[in-house]
């Protein structure tokens, strides 16, 4: 599992690749720290290469969303696979995030 943060104007883009499971949660949380402090930015969680997400992964997305709201930033989840979309639906997270 790798997480890369890129900057594009006002956007901060996190590119997730691999399986975001319990084992990957701690390093991923460390990797997304710059997103948690970003104020008044558009934060894109790019899931094009994300193969799997567990509850721990959902909690990381949730932390990013909470901190973003507190700092006036906006979070968009982009390019989730059909399987991950199903996880978002089964947990009711589909109405919690803006998904593109």
Partner 1 sequence: MENLDFHCQLILEEYRESLPALKRMKEVVTRALHEALERNGLIVTAVEARVKTEESLAGKLALKGAKYATLSDITDILGARIITFYTDDVDRIAAMAEQLFDIDWDNSVDKRRLHQLDSFGYNSLHYICRLPKTLCSDPQFPQLNDIRFELQLRTTLQHAWAAINHDTGYKSGVEIPREYMRRMNRLAGMLEMADDEFSRIRTEITDYRRRVQQLVQNGKLDDVLLDGDTFRSYMMAKPLDRLNKRIAAINQAEIQEAPFIRYLRVLLALDCKTLGDVQRLFRKYEDDAYLLARHQLGNTDLDIVSSAIGLQNICIVCILSNGGGKIGLVRLFDALNGHNPQNEALAELTFEQASNLPFMKISLAENNRAPERG
Residues that bind partner 1 (CB under 8 A): 54-55, 58-59, 62, 80, 82, 85-87, 89-100
Work out how close the CB of 7 gets to partner 1 at its nearest, in angstroms, rounded to a whole number. 25
For the bound state, the minimum distance from the C-beta of residue 76 to partner 1, rounded and expressed in Å, comes to: 11
Of the pair 33, 59, the CB lying nearest partner 1 is at 59
Residue 67, CA distances (Å) to 32, 34, 55, 73 in order: 11, 11, 18, 8
- In degrees rounded to 5, what are phi and psi of residue 69? -60, -40
Which residues does residue 45 pair with via DSSP β-bridges, in sequence order? Answer: 14, 77
Q: Which is nearer to partner 1, 5 or 62 (CB)?
A: 62
| Distance of closest approach, residue 49 Cβ to partner 1, in angstroms | 16
Question: By C-beta, is 9 or 82 nearer to partner 1?
Answer: 82
66-88 exposure pattern, b = at least 16 Cβ within 10 A, e = fewer = ebbeeeebebebeebeeebeebb
């Amino acid at each position: 599992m790798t997480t890369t943060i890129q900057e594009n104007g006002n956007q901060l883009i996190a590119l997730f690749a691999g399986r975001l499971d319990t084992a990957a949660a701690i390093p991923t949380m460390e990797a997304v720290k710059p997103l948690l402090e970003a104020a008044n930015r558009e934060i894109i969680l790019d899931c094009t290469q994300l193969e799997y997400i567990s509850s721990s992964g959902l909690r990381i997305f949730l932390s990013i969303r909470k901190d973003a709201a507190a700092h006036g930033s906006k979070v968009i989840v982009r390019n989730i696979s059909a399987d991950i979309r199903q996880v978002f639906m089964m947990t009711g997270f589909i109405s919690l995030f803006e998904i593109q």
